[in-house]
Amino acid sequence: MPPEGLLLRGATLADGSRADVRVSGDLIAEVAPPGRAAARPGEAVADLDGHVLLPAPAEPHAHLDKTLTADDVPVPNADLPAAVAAWREHRGTLTTEDIARRARRAALLGLSYGVTAIRTHADVGPGIELRAVEALVTVRGELRGLVDIQVVAMANSFTGEGRESPYRLRDALALGADMLGGAPHIDEDPARHLRTVMSLAAEHGVPVDLHMDEHLGEALDLPALAHLAGSPGAPPAVTASHCVSLGMRTPTVQEEVSRTVAAAGVGVVVCPPTNLYLQARDLQTGTPRGIAPVGELLRAGVRVAAGGDNVQDPFNPLGRCDPLQTAQLLVMAGHLTVDQAYHLVSDGARQVMGLPPARIEPGSRAELLAVVAGSLREALATTTEARTVIRGPRIVRRTRVLRDP
């Protein structure tokens, strides 16, 4: 039997203050000065002295169907086209069971780092058919109550061998996919790709999350997406992931497009780890970072999140499902403050994902992460694995780090 409640004593909060936090059911019931909250009958107690207590992070952009395949599909010095080609060749060999096994392992690894919600894309198309969707829907059910998983059925193309994609996406929704997605920039006809996904999502009343403008070239399809998202009969929610090429435009264009995106209510997910790895490999001087202009998007009022994207696969041989690592990169490569960076992987991510907020205040969902650190800055600097993950009145994961004297 889980405890009736949980009292977290002596935690340091992100603003530097200390508090006792009481959890009752799925919600935070009380935030009190340290030492003021007395334990109640049936209530578990956890001493968080020496820990910074944070809203639990969420992962708004994952590829659990691809994760942990780097050794099976090596792509030395890969750019995006090379990684896409290698994956398309390999994915036909995958079974539903293999995809589910790797996805389950990655989701639980993320949970150990504090992740209580994941949005994952699942390839749909020739070779893979619907096996990735089937596997991820299965894992979603298995991990319910630990990690909330949203499955985005993703088509790479609607031309050539991808002409059957509209039918496959409908079938993916019938299997239990939550959303529809795609990647217009790698299709022969990006405009058609964009219209097709938006139309199908509107028809079925489901949200959209599209890979947008994941390149450093001149093409910029984000304004077209914003136009469709702001039109009558649009899908209920629209997210644009990556948006790399916007970062290559002039400040004036960045400002104009960001305002258009904000007015249309489109959320944006930036993906520093994979974009830093894949982009600009052919540029030897003045190498751009390949990250969307996060600061300009935030100033325009866009809802922005940050995701870890690929983890140990052909698109990124590294990565460990850790949002603190993503936030760390946002500070160093995106020039955000520590507080801004953590917001993008926690409450900002939850906003883009359409989830209720998880804040440390009475009435908020009790999804929390305690890190052995004296401050949020230190937590991002060390990305220590010494963490305690809390969901409702339960401690669902605890990792201790032992060091020799």
Q: Which two tokens stand for residue 322?
A: 């850790």
d(CA 390, CA 368): 5
Q: Which two tokens stand for residue 9?
A: 């004593």
Write the pLDDT tens digit of every residue in 241-275: 999 999 999 999 999 999 999 999 999 999 999 99
Instruction: Give domain limits for the chain.
Output: 5-55+359-399, 59-352
Share of the chain above pLDDT 90, in %: 89
- pLDDT band at 76, cuts 50/70/90? confident
Report DSSP state, residue 316: B
What CATH number was assigned to the domain covering residues 5-55+359-399? 2.30.40.10
Write the pLDDT tens digit of every residue in 39-54: 899 899 999 999 999 9
pLDDT of residue 62: 99
The yes/no answer on whether domain 59-352 falls in CATH 3.20.20.140 is yes
d(CA 262, CA 229): 11
Q: Which of 39-48, 231-240, 368-377 has the lowest mean pLDDT?
A: 39-48
d(CA 10, CA 8): 7
The predicted model scores a pTM of: 0.96
d(CA 53, CA 233): 42
Confidence check: pLDDT of 380 > 90: yes
Confidence check: pLDDT of 187 > 80: yes
Residue with tokens 């996060």: 294
Most confident of 4-8, 32-36, 178-182: 178-182
d(CA 348, CA 294): 12
Greatest pairwise CA separation for the chain in angstroms: 67
| Region 135-162 average pLDDT | 95
Write the pLDDT tens digit of every residue in 280-301: 988 888 888 999 999 999 999 9
- pLDDT band at 112, cuts 50/70/90? very high
CA angle 116, 121, 125 (to 5 degrees): 155
